[in-house]
Amino acid sequence: MKRLPKHWLLMFIGLFIVLPFGYHFYSLSTPGELDGFTQCLADKQVKFYGAFWCPHCQSQKKIFGKSAKLLPYVECSNSDGKTQTQICIDQKITSYPTWEFPGEPEKQTGELTLAQLAEKTGCVLPQ
């Protein structure tokens, strides 16, 4: 059986191992389109309460794309998926997602659009 030259082995390693990891880390480090908007929500002390198992919470995060990592998100579910974290018990969070806006007495439940969030907070959406 004929052996492949060493440069073929290096190309294989580069293409199938190093390149995918490099792309993954590059994509994590590049800014998201809504980074500024999401950071504004955090700066205004808005809170987004949710649970990892909640499909509406996942949908809510999805509209932020790569910028979801900057959301002022509070996880309410313990790892068992059945009990609630103490912070959410203290805040009387009963459904997900729940949004809390400083200065407003009532929390808002359900998925909100980017336009609704911009209107409630004064944060500017990118064009």
Each residue of 111-123: pLDDT tens digit? 999 999 999 999 9
Cα–Cα distance, 120 to 103 (Å, whole number): 11
Backbone angles phi, psi at 74, to 5 degrees: -120, 115
pLDDT category, 30, cuts 50, 70, 90? Answer: confident
pLDDT more than 70, % of the chain: 77
Sign of the CA dihedral running 92, 97, 98, 102: positive
Cα–Cα distance, 127 to 67 (Å, whole number): 15
